[in-house]
Structure 1
Amino acid sequence: MNTTGASAFLGLLILSALLLSMMSSCVAADDVPAGVKRVVDEQQRLEQWEGYAQAKAEERIVYVATDGTGDFNCDGTDDQVEINQALQRVAADDQLTTVHLKGPSTYTVSDTIRLPSDTILQGDADAVLTVIPHQEAQWQPWKGIIECDGHGVSNITIRGFEILGNRASFSRDRYYYALTLMNAYDVTVNDMYIHDASGDGIKLEHRRSVFIGDGPGEENGKWIELTAEELAIYSQLHEQRANRVNSRFFNNWVQSVGHDGIYIINVQDFEVHDNYVYNCRTNSTVRLSGCNDFAIYDNVLRSNPNAGYSGNAGVQVQMGGVPVNRVEIYGNDIFRMALGGICVYGRGAFGTQTGVNIHHNRIWDCAIAGIRVYGAHDTIVENNVLYGNHGDGIQHWFVYQPLPKNRQPGEPPEGEKYTTIVRNNIIVDSIADAGRVSSPRVPPIFGFGLNNCVVTAGVDDVERYIPDNHQFISEHNCTYSNAVGPYNNAVSDSDIYVDPLFANAEGGDFHLQPGSSCIGAGTGGENIGD
């Protein structure tokens, strides 16, 4: 097994206890678990940040405070005014780089904070940015607490402080984001604690139009095209960089947001790693839509175990119709997600969405399946541990039924099928109960190690028809004690069917005990699941 498994699970258990007992929005240094990978000793944490020590020594930092000790000082009302003034000062002076929110302090905003290019917005771990209550917020829905100052903003960093979304005071007609960064490049978001926002926690999106709410008290809005000036900037950058955003999102703790934890749309060239994302209310912990050339790794992703199966998938990859040739999802611990641990689906022409590699993940107790793939070709699923998932271990099945025409993948040429190569995985104890059995998202049969679900008997029943155009190639897997059997519409001549002898599966330790038949039984003599 990958050696990070046990330590990540231990961190998960510690955080579970913390979340159940935590009564305030501030998190003391002694309470933060190793699994979140946040460093909360202030001096050590600051010194670890790239460029911080030099910026401090060269006096390139502008300080914002609430106690009168800052270069800009807030009074707890409309604090975005002073923070935006500080950011504009940095943007106007080549000798300055950073705005720092001093703690312990709470900064209360009534409108958006806007980041210009070439700026860092950072803060102490006990600096809390929050938004005034619903009845007082005079902004349109669908806004962000933090946004970019225009389109084509580049080289921005957000790090270190807490965002308290104050979600409980907002009804859905004031749906808003914590961070929404539109048409930005060279973005870094790290060491943040983001929680209780009504919408997405962190959102990076590229598009030619923006959704504008109709105003306070109204739920709906409309898409507005960028202005001619904005569109010119967007088009120039798109031509130069082709949506290659060169961005990283790491060491963040995102908890109890109303939509996706981390949501990235229509871009390439980014990484999401070492984040702890917990209890997303209505969607996925990490979601990628229309993206290519990215890696999602070493994250701990889970729903609230006391709320049944909440949210959607752990990692949800919607490829849409864009060409895809490099997606890597590995080293993640994913637990109890409502639409599966990892879901990958596309609708491009056959053979245009390839290069998806899902490996060395530990996925357990998820609903519907551990891993779901539909509409992607030559996907590789290897060296994963899938334990006790409801439904299936690995599944070919579309995430929504009925399957609308605008979401159907391209039809393969005659004699071809969408192929998922499954090798060196341990698939154990799949349960013949999909966890959401009343949902139309559940396949008609389940409880297998590998389920290549095909529904052609009732072709006239379009709501349940799934064509026979996918296949598994199963090599050197260990599939054991799956409720209905190892396969549905799949075969293998190299898989084994024995107890893998985990060290302590119920405790989250999936290392193999000495004497396990999985040792040396994988491709090329490697260990299965390792």
Structure 2
Amino acid sequence: MDEKYLRYVRQNKKKIGASIVILVFLIAMGIFILYAIKSEYSPIPLNKKVYVAGDRSGDFNCDGEADQVEINQALKFVAETPGYNTVYLKGPFTYTINSTIYMQSNTILEGDPDAVIKLVDHAGWTNSPMIPLIGKYGDSEITDVIIRGFEIDGNHDNNTDRSKGRGYYNIIYFTSAKNIKVYNMYMHDGHGDGLRINHGKNIQFYNNKIYKLGHDGLYAIECTNVKAWNNTITCRTNSGLRVWNSNHVKFYDNIINSTFDRNAGGPGILIEKTTGVMNDIEIYNNSIHNTFGPGLWLIGYDSSYPKKEAQNIHIHRNTFYSTGTNPSINWVGGIVTSGFYDTLIENNIFDGVYHAAVIHMYPDGKVTDLSPAGTGHTTTVRNNIIVNTQKRTENPDGTGYAVINYLPETHSFVLENNCLYNNSAGNYKNASSTTDFYADPLFVDQKKHNYHLKSNSPCIKAGNSS
């Protein structure tokens, strides 16, 4: 090696060492900043908040009238200002709105549990439906939105100019939406849906309390990757959770029931198909009880479709009790299904449901023809416990069985290793099994709906393990 070069290195080694240290430091800082920008858990405060208040302590301050004006100003600010993405509603204040709150992409609307957005009395948004309390700004796709932590009061009783379930005053409604999260919310007393998404992807709805809305708690239309869990929902007019022509759906760990009045709702969960593919849907670990309609309604109808477009729905480890209380319709029960192929219903508990635990049927006499197209629809029912079924109130004759098939020409059951006991009319109507057994399952405390099995239960290790 050149002696002159070596002499230079010896004379300048401190400077060279310092330069290397500085270079390494700059590289490390670049990597750190890049990570901070990309990471959801950035230690750099890039996602700053602005506060909305009702006592002049916020960045934007409301006076209890037309409060959507200031909230929309705050949302516009965080959408357009680098480093900001969150609007925080301070409590304990009620923010009265007489027009829509508009969300934009990459924004968060959150608040204290005692921060309340409330629809104004006599809002008069009756010129057209589908004008929500919270919607999106503009017509382009909305992405990466979070709504969490506060209360929304739909103020139904002071806005009776429109009927429930007609698209008026939905709580949250987005079209063309992706990466939407709604959680830790309390939504109640509305005319329409809690969260309605039309043409969406990656929708998460969890840890919400939904009470007496005018339509569905969650309604996903032509969506993919929809999850709803840990919600407590009391239906008033329609379903707790509903998907229509949607796929890759999971509903789990929810508690769903109905309030008792003359419009006390339909099914706890509704899975509905007319077009598109629905072959990856899982419903599990839900507690569904005292619903006016069936606990779960699974229905495919309209024009004929290939088997692969409506199959492999998996319903398991749910508890249904006292579902189907509606005295005015006949399509009540635990699970009512038609039009789907290769449905698997397993390891569920049905106690005291009206009509039957599992039924092949569809409602007739509707404006829309709900009859299923095609033949060869098979439902496998295995390892379930079905006890104490009751006759339905509407036309009770011939009801009260464990399993009923009203569509034997196009639909069939495969019944395996179910435990059946004390069903008022018997066990089967247009169905049969060679492996079901008939014994008291010996629940720990059935009256308190503790459906764990006692150690001497005949159901332990009695199911099909496949």
| 1:87 alignment partner, SS class | helix
Alpha-carbon shift at residue 276 of structure 1 (Å): 0.5
C-alpha distance in 2, partners of 1:294/1:483? 35
Distance 1:161 1:312, change over 3 A: same
- Which amino acid is the alignment partner of residue 266 of structure 2? N
Give the deviation of 1:504 after TM superposition: 1.1
Q: C-alpha displacement at 1:141, in angstroms?
A: 4.4
Indicate whether 1:344 and 2:298 are aligned: yes
Q: CA deviation at 1:408?
A: 2.9
Distance 1:71 1:139 in 2: 34
Aligned 1:81-160 pairs, distance under 5 A: 81-134=69-122, 140-151=128-139, 152-160=141-149
Measured after TM superposition, the shift of residue 364 of structure 1 is: 0.4
- In angstroms, what is the RMSD of aligned CA positions? 2.2
C-alpha deviation, 1:264, in angstroms = 1.3
CA contact (8 A) 1:141 1:173 kept: no
In structure 2, how many angstroms separate the alpha carbons of the residues matched to 1:321 and 1:257? Answer: 27
Output aligned runs, 1:326-405, within 5 Å. Answer: 326-347=280-301, 348-351=304-307, 352-367=309-324, 368-398=332-362, 400-402=363-365
- Corresponding residue of 2:204: 248
Q: CA, structure 1 residues 322+446, in 2 after alignment: closer, same or farther (shift >3 Å)?
A: farther
Letter in 1 for 2:246: C
Distance 1:390 1:260 in 2: 22
User: How many residues are paired up?
Assistant: 413
Quick one: which of 78, 100, 114 aligns to 2:66? 78
Name the CA distance, whole Å, in 2 between partners of 1:131 and 1:497.
54
Contact 1:498 1:517 in 2 (8 A): yes
Match of 1:264 among 220, 228, 231: 220
Q: CA deviation at 1:123?
A: 0.5
Aligned pairs for 1:353-502 (under 5 A) are 353-367=310-324, 368-398=332-362, 400-402=363-365, 406-412=369-375, 417-432=376-391, 434-435=392-393, 437=394, 445-454=398-407, 468-502=409-443
Whether 2:142 is the aligned partner of 1:161: answer no
Distance in structure 1 (CA, Å) of the matches to 2:335 and 2:418: 15
- Structure 2: runs of 5 or more not aligned: 1-38, 325-331
The Cα shift of 1:53 comes to: 9.1
Letter in 2 for 1:264: A
Verify the 8 A CA contact 2:282 2:313 in the aligned structure 1: yes
The one-letter code sitting in structure 2 at the alignment partner of 1:178 is: I
Tell me the distance in 2 between the aligned counterparts of 1:145 and 1:132.
10
When normalised by structure 1's length, the TM-score is 0.74
2-structure distance, mates of 1:453, 1:136: 45
SS of 1:446's equivalent in the other structure is coil
Out of 281, 289, 311, the position equivalent to 2:236 is 281
Identity among equivalent positions (%) equals 37
Give CA-to-partner distance per residue, 1:128-147, whole Å, 9 cap, x none. 11111016668754411000
Cα distance, 1:163 vs structure 2: 0.4
Distance change in 2, residues 1:139/1:87 (3 Å): farther
**Displacement of 1:106 after TM fit?**
1.0
**Larger relative contact order (Cα-Cα within 8 Å, sequence gap ≥ 6):** 1
Code of the aligned partner of 1:156: V
- The one-letter amino acid paired with 2:268 is G
CA–CA distance in structure 2, aligned partners of residues 378 and 59 of structure 1: 47
Structure 1 residue 205 displacement after superposition:
1.5
1:484 is displaced (CA, Å) by: 1.1
Equivalent-residue separation in structure 2 for 1:285 and 1:511 (angstroms): 25
Deviation at 1:524, TM superposition (A): 2.7
Q: 1:429 to 1:53 in 2, by over 3 A?
A: farther
**Which residue of structure 1 lines up, in the alignment, with residue 48 of structure 2?**
60
Aligned to 2:258: 303
Aligned partner letter, 2:244: S
Secondary structure of the residue that 1:177 maps to in structure 2? coil
Letter in 2 for 1:450: V
Tell me which moved more, 145-154 or 306-315.
Answer: 306-315
2:279 to 325, 346, 361: 325
- Aligned residue for 1:392, secondary structure, equals coil
Aligned-partner residue type, residue 265 of structure 1? I
Q: What residue ranges of structure 1 are gaps of 5+ in the alignment?
A: 1-49, 207-242, 455-466, 526-530
* 1:249 Cα deviation after fit: 0.3
Tell me the TM-score normalised to structure 2 length: 0.84
8 A contact 2:265–2:291 mirrored in 1: yes
Mark the CA change 1:314 to 1:88 in structure 2 (over 3 Å): closer, same or farther: same
Alignment match of 2:176 (pick from 183, 207, 222): 183
